Chain A
Amino acid sequence: MFKKVLIANRGEIAVRIIRGLREAGASSIAVYSDPDRASLHVQMADEAAPLGAAAAADSYLRIDKILAAARTHRADAIHPGYGLLSENADFAQACAGAGLVFIGPTADAIRKMGSKTRARQIAIAAGAPVVPGTEAAVSGLEEALQVARAIGFPVLLKASAGGGGKGMRRVDRQEDLSAALRDASSEALSAFGNGEVYIEKLVVEPRHIEIQVLGDNYGHLIHLGERECSIQRRHQKVVEECPSPVMLAHPELREKMGEAALKIARVAGYTNAGTIEFLVDRDRNFYFLEMNTRLQVEHPITELVTGLDLVQWQLQIAAGQRLAIQQKDVTFTGSAIECRIYAEDPAAGYLPSPGKIAKLREPSGPGIRLDSGVYEGWSVPLEYDPLLAKLAAWAPSRLAAISRLQRALDEYVIGGIRTNRDFFKDVLRDPLFTSGNLSTAFLDDFFARTPARSDDLEAEAVSALISALTARVHTETTAFAAPRKSSAWLQTGRAEQLR
């Protein structure tokens, strides 16, 4: 096992890995940018090294600085977390070149699966179903028309170099194809410097279900079942659960998808932890989407349901140990659901809401797991992903897990910044969610169909009472952000309470 591991990441995932290292008896080295000096991961790590200015391009994405820090602090391995450099094949290779173990797959596997078209070819070679469409960019409108007619409308145009919805267009009718192709191509060109576009059949209202795989360096690969991540806003997952409700009704689907995922991983020569994403249509046909060659944000729900610690296995596999679990040993107990708590305001178009966390009260109790990267008094920086924490609940059944998560959300107080906490309360009480009949279109008309929360006149009255007694008196001249003034009211109020 490693003695000392540098974590090339920040926030809650850095904290998660520090915890894993401590449990493994290894030391941790945090890295940080200037605004992250006082962040939780720096406080919790055994050692910490500065990277520089706030912008990720000047700090967390600087391979040279990270390797220099690893050298200075005598690290023997690097864990990349997720995002940032985690799927950068050059980084994995540079680690190896510097005599450091990269805790993840080989640079070659990252490169293969990181290219959408190569990943698709690998999936086809592995005999896994893929969404019908072109494997490479289309040459022009004529080819596009031919392909679209063959696979049938609606189709999806996607940028070859892209991601995050850029250069993506849904086309429902043949007569719209020409304009959509032109728009997608120019958008792709300006976003990625590459205007190549390919065509896929649009799977209407699919579920997004992914399979966790784990493989050692000696060819032994297993899967740890699925996670359903259909609840997404702008292609970003916000609620994940394990098992998928569809697997609860059709357990044979897990075996089929798990087998397909393992075949793909085998062809790719995959090692360590990875996730293969699929779309699943209403008839439970599934199609390979892409592979994430790293630890996934939502890994805790798999850990809760399988009882396996993914970070520990990542460390052991990277250290050259054999994966001592057989497929038949992997069992699934109960249900786990996770909410991604973001510093953002869903009511204002998911506008990011950085700032100081003035109040933090964290949930706990039976079946609750909180992976948080923040603390009361911490100022959430503007520069990075607004993920504050992941709140997960485990219970013996899906409905009990929903109740538990609702209870934990009620306990969770994050004051001073906007978060999406209340949005999750609405999601969890949505009849469509409790029915388990999910799709990636879940949020499309969510705000329209969600009834307003019922008023609580007593709570409202108490908010007014406490405000009055703490002398938050406003006149025309005292604006909201003005410092609080002590007034005669405060003394009066206190005096009255003392009587």
Chain B
Amino acid sequence: MKCETLVDNKPGKLTVGPNSFTYEIVLGSSGRQTGEAEHPRRSPRQTGDDETSEVGANGAITAGYTIEALGRNDFSVLSSGRSFQVSVLPNGEVSVNGRVFHVQVFDPRRFRGRQANGAATGKRIIAAPMPGRVIRILVEAGQTVEAGQGLIVVEAMKMQNEMKAPHAGTVTKIKTSLGATVTAGDVLLVME
């Protein structure tokens, strides 16, 4: 199973096999500041003789895993020997060891195609990563944008967060307005 993900608004790629999975952040295209994710943010970790999670040069993490379903929304995950307590919450949130991530998963089969360089294309929701206020809308519906181009700026506690285009494409819908108060996960813009 292959899919594309947005975790706290950072685009990623996920490949799930029966016993191991690979997760890779698409570098330089996140809503965060660029230049940050040039290197893997966690070095390979050894928990036992065969229990290594590998972090590749491109920031991909490959790990063996087992899952125990504890209830409808609660799971115990062992990923390369490390234990994670996971709860699936409403509104696309997932708590992992007490840390809450906002996660969206996209089915790549619905996407129209891929560019030669491998960057993801297809319909993309740009969502607010945190509650705040929309202070700038940098594009218009119908506008063509480059990968990494700024789309919308959300401000919370004087922190400005610029949402950037995860890939080159066209802005199809703007689903918010200037000055709007948004909560985490609110759809701000749709692009293709």
Interface residues of A (CB under 8 A from B): 345-349, 351, 356, 358-359, 361, 409-413, 415-416, 418, 447, 454-476, 479-481, 487, 489, 492-493, 496-497, 499
Contact = CB atoms under 8 A, between A and B. Distances in A.
A475 B107 contact: yes
B53 A474 contact: no
B180 interface: no
A347 B79 contact: no
Contacts of B96: 456, 459-460, 462-463, 466
Contacts of B165: none
Nearest to B84: A462
Residue in B5, B86, B105, B132 with the greatest tally of chain A CB atoms within 10 Å: B105
A497 B68 CA distance: 10
A464 B89 CA distance: 13
Where chain B touches its partner, the secondary structure class is strand
Residue in A351, A409, A475 with the greatest tally of chain B CB atoms within 10 Å: A475
A462 B127 contact: no
Nearest to B91: A480
A471 B63 CA distance: 20
A465 B23 contact: yes
Given A416-B89, A464-B7, 11 more contacts: A456-B42, A456-B99, A458-B82, A460-B7, A460-B8, A464-B103, A467-B103, A467-B104, A469-B67, A489-B3, A497-B18
Given A464-B103, A467-B88, A458 B1 contact: no
B3 A468 contact: yes
Contacts of A416: 89-91, 93
Residue in A345, A409, A447 with the greatest tally of chain B CB atoms within 10 Å: A345
B75 A466 contact: yes
Interface of B: 1, 3, 5, 7-8, 12, 14, 16-18, 21, 23, 25, 40-42, 45, 53, 55, 59, 61, 63, 65, 67, 73, 75, 77, 79-80, 82, 84-101, 103-107, 110, 123, 125, 127, 130-132, 156-159, 185-187, 190
A351 B97 contact: no
B7 A463 contact: yes
Contacts of A472: 88, 92, 103-105
Contacts of A474: 92, 104-106, 125
B123 A462 contact: no
Contact of A496 (B18, B77, B87, B89): B18
A496 B16 contact: yes
Contacts of B73: 359, 470
A480 B131 contact: no
A415 B42 contact: no
Contact of B61 (A461, A470, A479, A493): A461
Contact of B156 (A349, A412, A464, A489): A349
B79 A480 contact: no
B190 to A, nearest CB: 6
B130 A461 contact: no
A402 to B, nearest CB: 17
Given A348-B156, A480-B92, A464 B99 contact: no
B77 A468 contact: no
Contacts of B106: 473-475
Contacts of B67: 466, 469, 497
A463 B110 CA distance: 22
B161 to A, nearest CB: 11
A461 B79 contact: yes
Nearest to A349: B157
B92 A465 contact: no
A351 to B, nearest CB: 6
Nearest to A350: B157
Contact of A358 (B63, B86, B89, B132): B89
Contacts of A418: 131
B23 A455 contact: no
Given A462-B77, A492-B1, A497-B67, A468 B91 contact: no
19 contacts: A347-B130, A347-B131, A347-B159, A348-B157, A410-B97, A418-B131, A456-B96, A459-B99, A464-B105, A465-B21, A466-B94, A468-B16, A474-B104, A476-B190, A479-B187, A480-B185, A489-B3, A492-B1, A496-B1
Contacts of B93: 415-416
Contact of A415 (B7, B41, B95): B95
Residue in A410, A412, A470, A481 with the greatest tally of chain B CB atoms within 10 Å: A470
Nearest to B24: A461
B21 A467 contact: no
Nearest to B75: A466
B98 A413 contact: yes
B125 A476 contact: yes
Given A455-B41, A473-B105, A467 B82 contact: no
Nearest to B79: A462
Nearest to B72: A470
A464 B127 contact: no
Nearest to A418: B131
Given A464-B5, A467-B103, A480 B84 contact: no
Contacts of B157: 346-349, 447
Contact of B94 (A447, A467, A487): A467
B170 to A, nearest CB: 13
Contacts of A456: 42, 96, 99
Nearest to B78: A462
Contacts of A454: 41
A459 B84 contact: yes
